[in-house]
Amino acid sequence: MRLFVAVVPPIEVVEDLNEFVEPRREHPDDDIRWASDQHWHITLAFLGDVPDWKTEELEERLESAAQRQKPFELQLTGAGAFPGVPDARVLYAGVRDDSESLKHLSMTTRAAASRAGVTVEGRKFTPHVTLARLRRPIDVTRWVRVFDTYDGPVWTAGSLRLIESRLGEGPGHSAAYDTVGEWDFLG
């Protein structure tokens, strides 16, 4: 299974962001592939392909990490791009996390995966929600300026999810996501 660990915003937060994004989706640009609002999440750890025999221990360790975490407040606000604004491949909404709990949670979920024998992929953790992927590197200065004006509602993150991603099985040959496990923060 191709897996990642994430915090998923509640429906009211997704709806608020979607209301802001929707008029921009109508902008004709063949280089931009807008992400479905059903896919919006904050990735804590990307695990890639995980053998079935490792998932039970992985789930146990993620549950333990979630139980040690207290709920915390987040806000989707601002924007950015990977690897950078002038040569972007990904356009994203930023995340305000005054408590830095996401950074800590990313470290603990990555450690939990490693202890379960699962290799964590990816680079430095930057909390974000992917809004669009770009077919080729382009300068997204104007898009970042538009999305930088967005300030979503503050919400309380209260759980952690392990999500399976099946490439090419979603709408328009996008990925299909299924939650494999979800654990509440009890800390």
| Residues identified as active-site | 41, 128
Taking a C-beta distance cutoff of 8 angstroms, is the pair 54, 114 a contact? no
The Cα 34–Cα 31 span in angstroms is 10
Nearest CA-CA partner of 90 in 147, 28, 19, 170: 147
User: Is cis: bond before 83, omega within 30 of 0?
Assistant: yes
The Cα 128–Cα 114 span in angstroms is 23
Compute how many other C-beta atoms are within 10 angstroms of the C-beta atom of residue 76: 28
Beta-bridge partner residues of 81: 91
Cα 159 from chain centre:
13
> What is the SS3 assignment for 16?
helix
> What is the SS3 assignment for 13?
helix
Taking a C-beta distance cutoff of 8 angstroms, is the pair 59, 160 a contact? no
